[in-house]
Chain A
Amino acid sequence: MSKELLKGNYAVIKGALLAGCVAYFGYPITPASEIAEAAAYYFPLAGRTFVQAESEIASINMVYGAAGAGVRCMTASSGPGISLKQEGISYIAGSELPCVIVDVMRGGPGLGNIAPEQGDYHQVVKGGGHGNYKCAVYAPNSAQEMCDLTYKAFETAEKYRNPVFVLADGFIGQMMEQVEFGKLDPVTPKKLDWGVHGTADSKNLINSIYLDPDELEAHNRKLQEKYKKMEENEAMFETYKTEDADIVLIGYGITSRILRTVVDEARKAGIKAGLFRPITLWPLAKDELNKLKNSAKKFFVVEMSNGQLVEDIRLVVEGKIPVEFHGRMGGNVPTVDEVLEITKKLS
C-alpha cells in the first residue's frame, strides 16, 4: 500500500526527503513541531542533517549556510518564528539562494494562540523582510499537497535560486488524510556548481552586499526580471464549478475546503456558485482571475484573517467586479453554514 494516513506536518518531511533535501534546521513551535520531529526521525536515517537550532534566527542562517553549498535544505515554523526568520530570508533572497520554508500558521498577532489562522499572508507573500524581494508561496489544502507542494517547492527554489514558502495553516498541518506516495520519484541529492563546497573548484562567493548604488540597482533589476519570469510561469490555481458561476468564492488552504462544500450547498439552493482557489499565493493566477472577473458577477473572498489575500484580489480586478470579504480570526474556522448564509445574501 503506497497510501498512508498521515498528518500534513509529517507529509511535509516525507515530501522533502523524496525531493532530495539534505538538511533541516529548525526550532520547535506549535502547530509546526511535528515537522521538526519527523525530520529529526527520518533525516539521520537517510544520512542527512537535522539540527535543532538555538533560535529561529540561527535556523534560517544555518539554512543560508547550507543553501550556499547549492544543496536542497529547509526550515519550518509558525508565525512568530517566521517573523524572526525574516532577516535571514531577506539575505537568502538577496544572495539568490534556494531553500524551502514552511509556515504552519497560528493565531496572531503577538503570542496570539496556537489555533489555525491565515494572518501570515502579508508577512509571507509580501516579503516580510527588508528590501525588494519576492518568494514564491505554495498554499496546500490537504495532507497530500503538504507532501506534493513541498516537493514542488524544492524544484521551484532551485530553478530560480530563490527562497520558496509552503504556507499552511494549523488545520492543514494537524489534519490526517490519506497520502499517496507512488507518484513521486526520489531525487538524488547533489551540490550545484555555483555553491561553496570547500573544494578547489567551488571557490565561489555567496553575498548580498553591493556597495555601489548602480551595482545594487543592477542586482535588484536582475531580481525583478527573475520575479517576472516566476509570475509568467509558476502561478497555480484550481477552479470548481466556475464555468457558469455568478458568484465566485475565493479562498486558500483549509478555507478552500470549506468553500468547496459551500459551493455544493449553494448550488443545491439554486445559487450558481463556484470556487477559485489559488495554489500559489505569489505569483497569483492573474489571468484566470481576470477571466472570471468577466464571466462572474461577484467575487467573495473568505479568509481566516482580517482580509489580506482580498487586497491582492482587488488589485488584480481593479474595481471591475465587486469583491466581498468575510474573515474569521483568533483561531475560529468559518463554518459552512455561516459562509453559505452570507453567500445567499450576496447573491
Chain B
Amino acid sequence: MYEPILSKPKSFFETYKEKTGDQTITHYCPGCGHGIVHKYVASALDELNLTDRAIFVSPVGCSVFGYYYFNTGNLQAAHGRAPAVATGSKRVNPDSIVISYQGDGDLAAIGTAEIIHAANRGELITVIFINNAIYGMTGGQMAPTTLVGQKTTTTPRGRDPHNEGYPVKMCELISQLNAPIYVERVALNNAANRAKAKRAIKKALKLQSERKGFTFVEVLSQCPTGWKVDAPDALKWIEEKMIPYYPVKVFKDTSNEAEPYPEAKEIISGEKVFEILGIKRDEKKEETIKYEIPEKYKNPRIKIAGFGGQGVLLLGVALAQVGMMEGYNVTWIPSYGPEMRGGTANCSVNISDSLIGSPVVEKPTILVAMNKPSMEKFEKDMVSGGILFYNTAMIDTEPQRDDIIKVPVPATKIASDLGNIRVGNMVMLGAIIEKTKLLPLETVKSGFEYFISRKNLIPLNEKAVEAGMNYIKENNL
C-alpha cells in the first residue's frame, strides 16, 4: 500500500472537460507562470477547505479559460471587469469565497477603474494579479506593466516613457488605499520566491474566509512566448529586469488589527416588504370619488408658476395629493423637471374623474401666478372662462384678459404677516379651495403629513391655508 504525497489538488477538475483537444494538460504555453499560480490557488482552496465555497472569476487574457480547471463555481468576465463581476457575485453570495484572477492588461489598463474601486470599497474578495509585462493572449503587445525600453509588437523600438508613460505599479497604488488589508507582490523566478507566492495566496484566501477585508496578491510571472525567450531565461528576466522595478515584498498587512466584517443581513420578504415601503395594503375595492368638485371647475387643468423658492412645485403636489385622496386621477409634472435647481419654476397638475391623457397643461383652466413673469408668460394660454389666482404682493400689474375670472391674492404679504413668507403657496392653496371648492379643507389637513416633510411646520401651513380662505371670504372675491 502507498499513499500519494504529491497529487493534483482536488480544487482542479480531474480532466478538463470544457477544454477542446487534450483534456489532461492546460492550454498554457510551455514555461508559462499561469499553471503554477493556478496550482497555488487550487492547493490553498484544498488546504483551507474552501473549494465548495469558491467562485472563480476568469478574466479576458490568457487565463480566460480559468474555468477549464477550477472545480468551483465559475464566472467568465468581460475584459477588465472581473472585480466588478466579483463584487456583484460576492454581494449576493456573502458566504462564498470569490477570486478575481486577472492579467496585467485586464487589471492595470482596461480595468483600472474596477480594481481601484473594488479595492477602495474593501470588497471581500481576493484578487490574484498576474504581471508578466506583456499582452500574452493577443500576441505580445505592450502591457501597462511593460518595462521601459522593452520591445513588444506595439512598442517595436522599446517602450518610450514619453509616448507610453511608465510601467504601472499596482501594489504601490492599491496599498495607498484605506480599505485593503493585505497587499503583497511575489515572484515565480526561484524556489524561495515561489514558496512565498504560495503562502501569500493562501494567506489572502484565508483572510477572505475570515471576512477580514480586500486582499491583493501580485505575481511577477514569466511569459517565455511573449518575451521570445526560453523558459530558464524567462526566470532570469524576472529576476534581472522585473524585480528591480517591481520590488517583491509585503506592501500592506493590517490583517491582525482588522475586525471581521459583520455578517450579511437577512433578506426580508413577504408582507414585511410592504411595511418597509410604507405601503398600507388594503383589500378594499377601487376607491370611488368621495368629493364632488363643482361642475364649473370639474377636471381642472392647473398651471402653477413662480420663482424657485416660492413653493410652486409643492403647491402642485399638495393639490395632486389631496385630489388623489378624494379618489380622483391626478398627475403632477414639473416644468423642466430634473433641471429644477432654483430660478423660475412651474408645474402642471391634472385632477380628473377619468383617465388622464396628456399630463402637460398647455391651456390651463386654473392658473396660479406667484410672480410677474409667470403671469405674463401663462395668462395668454388660459382657456376662456378660466380662473387666474395672482399674487398681488409680487405682481404690480393687472391681468390683460377680460374673458377670465381674476382673483387677486397678496399671498406673500399674508404669509409674511404669519411670520414666514415661504408659506405663501399654502395661502394660495387656501384661496383656491375657498374660491372654487375644488377640494375640501378637511382633506387638505389630513394630506399635510404626505406633502409637508417637516412635521413641526404643519401647524403653520394649516394657518396659512386658513388665512388664504379667510382672505377670499372677507373680500367677497
Interface residues of A (CB under 8 A from B): 1-5, 14, 17-18, 20, 22-23, 25, 30-31, 33, 42, 44-49, 51, 53-55, 57-59, 61-69, 71, 73, 87-88, 91, 95, 114-116, 170-171, 174-178, 181-182, 186-189, 191, 196-200, 202-209, 211-212, 254, 257-262, 264, 333, 335-337
CB distance B270 to A57 under 8 Å?
Answer: no
* Contact indicator A200/B281 (Cβ below 8 Å): no
The answer to whether A177 and B337 touch across the interface, beta carbons within 8 angstroms, is no
Contact between A197 and B73, CB atoms less than 8 A apart: yes
Chain B residues near A259 (CB-CB < 8 A): 357
Interface size class of B (residues with CB under 8 A): 35 or more
Distance (Å) between the CB of B476 and the closest chain A CB? 34
Q: A18-B273, A181-B279 are in contact. List 9 more A-B contacts (CB 8 A).
A: A5-B321, A44-B265, A64-B84, A65-B84, A174-B338, A177-B331, A203-B74, A206-B74, A208-B76
Q: What separation, in Å, do the CA atoms of A186 and B274 have in the docked complex? A: 8
As a 0/1 sequence over residues 97 to 132 of chain B, the CB contacts with chain A under 8 angstroms (1 = contact) are 110000000000000011011000100000000000
Asked whether A204 and B81 contact (CB < 8 A) given A5-B330, A178-B330, the answer is no
B3 at the interface (CB under 8 A from A): no
Q: Which of B283-340 contact A (CB under 8 A)?
A: 283, 287, 317, 320-321, 324-325, 329-334, 336-339
- Separation of A56 and B417 alpha carbons in the complex (Å): 50
Q: Is the CB of A88 within 8 A of B73?
A: no
Q: Judging by beta carbons under 8 Å apart, are A63 and B88 in contact?
A: yes
Q: What chain B residues lie within 8 Å of A176 (beta carbons)? A: 317, 320, 330-333
B395 within 8 A of A: no
Q: Is the CB of A23 within 8 A of B117?
A: no
CB distance from A114 to the nearest CB of B (A): 5
A17 nearest CB neighbor, chain B only: B273
Spell out B's residues near A (CB within 8 Å). Answer: 18, 20, 52-55, 57, 64, 67, 71-78, 81, 84-93, 95-98, 113-114, 116-117, 121, 264-274, 276-283, 287, 317, 320-321, 324-325, 329-334, 336-339, 355-360, 362, 450
Q: Is the CB of A174 within 8 A of B96?
A: no
A61 engages B92 (CB within 8 Å): no
Known: A58-B113, A69-B93. Contact between A204 and B73, CB under 8 A?
yes
Q: Do B78 and A207 have beta carbons less than 8 Å apart?
A: no
* Contact A177 B330, beta carbon cutoff 8 Å: yes
Report A-chain residues with C-beta under 8 Å of the C-beta of B73.
196-199, 202-204
With A65-B87, A335-B362 as contacts: A22 and B268 at CB distance below 8 Å: no
How far apart are A201's CB and chain B's nearest CB, in angstroms? 9
Q: Are B89 and A174 in contact (CB under 8 A)?
A: no
Q: Establish whether residues A54 and B117, one from each chain, have CB atoms under 8 Å apart when the complex forms.
A: yes
Q: Given A22-B267, A176-B331, A198-B98, A73–B53 Cβ distance below 8 Å?
A: no
